[in-house]
Amino acid sequence: MERRRRGGPPLLERITGERPHLRLAFESVELAAIGDFLVIAGPAEERERYAHASATVVVSDLDAVLADLDRAGAVVTVPPTTGPTGRFAYARHADGIAVEYVQWTPELVAAHTGRSRARERAST
């Protein structure tokens, strides 16, 4: 997913100090989570389908976030949809920024939270 340079680990692994903890195929692209980054790989024309969002935000309650966004004048551009990592939706905020919101499956939350807590304990 990421080019290696000078024989060392890929850049995001060096930055985060972590290896990818989630890899999956989604439609015609591949996704990998490395630390707090989500990397999308695949042919350029396929990656372009997902480039309309400026950011991806993981939330605990997608429906509550969408209600808050509606009250703030945002427009849902892709309604809540179920995918391999949980439920997601896209919204365009009143200022024009487009954001993907993802509510992970309970299994992913448990795996990610456990990994994050281990990382916090190691740094103290």
Domain assignments of the chain as residue spans, ordered by start = 1-50, 52-124
How far, in Å, CA of 66 to CA of 62, rounded? Answer: 6
Residue 79 in this model has a pLDDT that exceeds 50: yes
Range with the largest mean pLDDT of 14-18, 22-26, 77-81? 77-81
Percent of the chain at pLDDT exceeding 90 = 28
Average pLDDT, the chain: 80
Q: With a threshold of 0.75, does the pTM exceed it?
A: no
Alpha-carbon separation of residue 88 from 12, 78, 84 (angstroms) = 24, 8, 10
CATH of domain 52-124: 3.10.180.10
Determine the average pLDDT of the residues in 97-116.
80
Determine the average pLDDT of the residues in 84-109.
91
